[in-house]
Amino acid sequence: MIGRLRGEVVSREAGTLILDVGGVGYEVLVTTTTELAVAGKSGEVILHVHTHVKEDALTLFGFASGGERDAFRLLLGVSNVGPRTALALLSGLTVAELADAIAKKDLLRLSKVQGIGKKTAERLVFELQDKMKLFSIPAGDAQPGARRPPPSSARDDLLSALGNLGYKPAQQDRALIAVAGLLEAKAPFEEVLREALRALAR
């Protein structure tokens, strides 16, 4: 089973990357968050991989962080949730947003993700309520020695998302500076995260 790939992105389409590893091109399906995380990066990138094997196909799903892959695998344990549905969930919501929605039993937020109906949302909440708490720890708590500005919902959400993607406290602080204007303007979280990832990719 393939669990990790390190190589150069040679082709990209919406939701799909071709990663050249030693002359072999691996087609990897990725979330929107991972796609943004590797966008603009030159040289080699590392993807944490989940290998999905069926009788007639072998499909690779790639993630910018081990935490995102772990969340993907948790989703696969939910009744009637396959890899495509799990990928859609993590493309429509960051890991932190997904954990928050499940913790708050926010069925409306979950069902807004394309392909997720009310019944699936209910199953997600019922089966993952305790397990997804592992992904909702604020980044500040995970890094007790790190200094953080006064708490704000948008800022904390961003720090949590970046922490789940594997970014260090110093990188998180740099991202906060880059998107300070967007946070102050209360821009949509997706836009804030996108700009933060772009800033870190420079």
Q: Which range has the top average pLDDT, 96-105, 174-183, 189-198?
A: 96-105
Q: Which range has the top average pLDDT, 37-51, 70-84, 168-182?
A: 70-84
| pLDDT exceeds 80 at position 153 | no
pLDDT (tens digit per residue) in 43-58: 889 999 999 988 788 9
Q: What DSSP letter does each residue of the chain carry, written as one string?
A: ---EEEEEEEEEETTEEEEEETTEEEEEEE-HHHHHHHTT--SEEEEEEEEEEETTEEEEEEESSHHHHHHHHHHHTSTT--HHHHHHHHHHS-HHHHHHHHHTT-HHHHHTSTT--HHHHHHHHHHHTTGGGGG---HHHHSTTS--PSP-HHHHHHHHHHHHTT--HHHHHHHHHHTHHHHHTT--HHHHHHHHHHHHH-
4 contacts: CB under 8 Å, gap ≥ 6: 46, 47, 48, 49
**For the domain that residue 81 is a member of, what is the CATH number?**
1.10.150.20
Asked whether residue 25 is assigned to any structural domain, the reply reads yes
Asked whether residue 97 is assigned to any structural domain, the reply reads yes
Q: Are residues 43 and 90 in the same domain?
A: no
pLDDT of residue 200: 80
Q: Are residues 111 and 127 in the same domain?
A: yes
Rounded distance between C-alpha atoms, residue 126 and residue 108, angstroms:
15
Residue where one domain finishes, among candidates 135, 160, 176? 135
Q: Are residues 115 and 130 in the same domain?
A: yes
Least confident of 11-15, 17-21, 41-45: 41-45
Q: What is the Cα 48 distance to its own chain's centre? A: 12
Asked whether residue 37 is assigned to any structural domain, the reply reads yes
* Residue percentage of the chain with pLDDT more than 90: 34
Q: Which residue is associated with the tokens 């102050």?
A: 184
Rounded distance between C-alpha atoms, residue 170 and residue 149, angstroms:
13
169 contacts: CB under 8 Å, gap ≥ 6: 139, 143, 146
Residue where one domain finishes, among candidates 112, 135, 158? 135
Residue-range definition of the domain harbouring residue 9: 4-63
Asked whether residue 36 is assigned to any structural domain, the reply reads yes
Q: Are residues 37 and 83 in the same domain?
A: no
Q: Are residues 59 and 71 in the same domain?
A: no
Q: Are residues 126 and 82 in the same domain?
A: yes
Least confident of 36-50, 84-98, 118-132: 36-50
pLDDT grade, residue 76 (50/70/90)? very high
On whether the pTM is more than 0.95, the answer is: no
Residue where one domain finishes, among candidates 21, 43, 63? 63
Q: Are residues 87 and 35 in the same domain?
A: no
Query: What's the mean pLDDT in 71-81?
Result: 91
Asked whether residue 202 is assigned to any structural domain, the reply reads no
Q: Are residues 72 and 108 in the same domain?
A: yes
pLDDT (tens digit per residue) in 78-96: 988 999 999 999 988 888 8
pLDDT grade, residue 156 (50/70/90)? confident
**For the domain that residue 52 is a member of, what is the CATH number?**
2.40.50.140
Q: How many domains does the chain have?
A: 3
| pLDDT exceeds 60 at position 146 | no
Q: Are residues 71 and 131 in the same domain?
A: yes
pLDDT of residue 137: 42
Least confident of 14-18, 138-142, 190-194: 138-142
